[in-house]
Structure formats: structure tokens, C-alpha cells
Amino acid sequence: MTNVAISVFGLLLVGTVYRLATLKDWTSDLARKRLGSLLSWWIVSTWVLLCAVGGTIIASLLFATVSTLAFREYARLAFHNDNESSHPNIQRHSENKINALPTMPIMAVGYVCIASLYAGLAAGADYTLILCLPLACVIIAGSVLMVTTSTKQFTSDVGGLVYGVTLTGCLPAASILLLPSDATPSLEIPGWFLLLICLTEVNDITAAWFGRALGRHKLAPTLSPNKTMEGFIGGTLTTITLAILIGPHLTAMSHPTGGVLGLAIAIAGTLGDLNMSAIKRFAGVKDSGDVLPGQGGILDRIDSLTFTAPVALLLMKVLS
């Protein structure tokens, strides 16, 4: 695990030195954005390593924080409506739709469900909790909203709430179940967890690189105009290759199995990204927030992970 940490921060250090060395070639706005993105990468990498070495309890606490912030961003986007009178369960805090939050009952149900999810995982619950929580959320959300809010858009509010809890809580929480359950997790390499994060990020980054360099054909022009078929293919091939190379070293999987995992992660990651793009397109915004300098909001950072985490967990269960 020490070697993994050294490798990660070594790469970050090299990237930091390179970025600072080329700072003079950028405009002031671009330099500010690139430096902000660099800071965000340090934050994200530190967060990932803390999850990896801290075990289930620490990871649950860290993921709970991220999921809570992500749900807040989601609520601002998904419950937005330009016609305020048509949606009585929205409280406007400004004219900017990104700052519009649902009323307290909607937010409270979401927060309670997410807190319950991670408390259960920290206590040792398995994937059954992740599967059952959305069902419980239907009952809780329906029961609370029917007596505390207007029923004018009851079904869309309940559906949006359950989807939000599932998307920002249950799906990324699958990552925690990839961690070793040993009482001394720092002594065991959390191979599946690290492999998931590594492949997900590499797929995102290389797809963008190939898209900028070779992109000609749009992948989903309505949802994400910058995504291209060439970027998707390049990112997929890179992810498959990396999974074949490092998968057997981090886990007990074979090289062919690594290729299957790489393909699954690439497809799931792209779909997760597009899914979040659809939500942002619905709300009419480019980024879900501005928590992470140069990278947008929490949802922008975990969009691919929401789909890749459950896929990786499923493959791990099948293979074991």
C-alpha cells in the first residue's frame, strides 16, 4: 500500500512541477483554472488514499460527506422548474435556478436515507442494504411528502427523491464494498477499490484527450456536444489495456478478466457521465456546482463512478 501511495503522489508531484513550469504560457484566466484543477486533484487523491487505507468505517464517513454534498447539488438541479407556481415544493433562495432548493421535507428525507446507508455500511452491512435502501426510500419519501408538502407534483417529487438518493448514495456506496473487511485494512492492498478508481479516472481523462486530438463524430450531441466516438474508442482501448496490465497485480484476476473489467468500466463510466449530463441539461447548467476549483461540483467529479462502482462490485461478486 505504501508503494501505491508513493506512486500516486509521485505522479501528482511530477504533474504539479510541469504545470507550474508552463504557467507563463497561459492567460491569467486559464492559469487560474488550471491551478484550481491541480489543487482539486490533490484533494481528490488524498481523499481516495484515506478511503483505501482507513478501512470501511473511515471510507463510509468520507463517502457520506461526498454523497451528502452530491445530493444537495442534485436536488438543486432535479427539482428545478422555471415556473415556480407549478412546483409549490421549491423554495427559491435567488433568481439563479442553481440555488433553488426543495423544501425541508424533501431534503431531510434524502439526508436521513444517505446517513442511514453509510451508517449501516460502517457497521458491516453488505450489498443487501444498497439494494433495499431505494425500496425503503419509496416508503419513507411517500409517507413524509404526502403529509408535509403539496401533492401537486407528488409522484415526480417522490420519484426524483428516490432517484437522487440512489444516484448520489447507493450507487457510489458500492465502492466501499470493494474494500478489504480485515480489521487491519492498511496491511492489505485494497486492490479492487484502487483498480476501480484508477480505471474510472483513466477512462475519463484519456477519452477527453483522444476526443480533443482526433474527435470528429459526436457521441451524444444533445447531451454532451464535446464527447466523440473517437474519444470513447480511445478511452475504452486505453482502459482495457491498463486493466489487463495492472489488474492481475492488484487483485487475483487473470489478464482476460482484466480486459473484461476494463471494457465494462469504460462503457459504464461513459454512460454515467452522460446520465449526469442529462440531469444538468434538464436544469440548463454546465456544471453541477463550484466546490472543486477548475472541476465543477461534486456530481461532476463522481458522475462516472455512480455507474462504474456497482458494475465493479457485480463483477467482483461474480468472479469470487
Give the DSSP letter string of 110-124.
HHHHHHHHHHHHHTT
Determine the Cα–Cα distance for residues 209 and 230; give it in Å rounded to an integer.
10
Is residue 3 over pLDDT 50?
Answer: yes
Torsion, Cα of 166, 172, 178, 180 (10° steps): -100
Mean pLDDT of the chain: 86
Range with the largest mean pLDDT of 2-11, 133-142, 185-194, 289-298: 133-142
CA 145 to each of CA 70, 79, 151: distance values in angstroms, whole numbers, following the listed order: 21, 14, 8
Domain ranges of the chain: 2-319
Confidence of residue 81 (pLDDT cuts 50, 70, 90): low
pLDDT at residue 80, rounded to an integer: 63
Q: Which of 5-14, 60-69, 211-220 has the lowest mean pLDDT?
A: 5-14
Confidence of residue 58 (pLDDT cuts 50, 70, 90): very high
> What is the reported pTM?
0.87
pLDDT at residue 176, rounded to an integer: 96
Instruction: Indicate the helix (H) or strand (E) that contains 101.
Output: strand 101-102
Determine the Cα–Cα distance for residues 98 and 11; give it in Å rounded to an integer.
35
pLDDT at residue 272, rounded to an integer: 97
Yes or no: say if 297 and 285 are a contact pair by the CB < 8 Å rule: no
Q: pLDDT by residue (tens digit) across 110-157? A: 999 999 999 999 999 999 999 999 999 999 999 998 888 777 788 888
Is residue 98 over pLDDT 70?
Answer: no
Of residues 287 and 213, more confidently modeled: 213
pLDDT at residue 240, rounded to an integer: 98
Share of the chain above pLDDT 70, in %: 86
Between β-strands 218-220 and 224-228, what pairing exists: parallel, antiparallel or unpaired? Answer: antiparallel
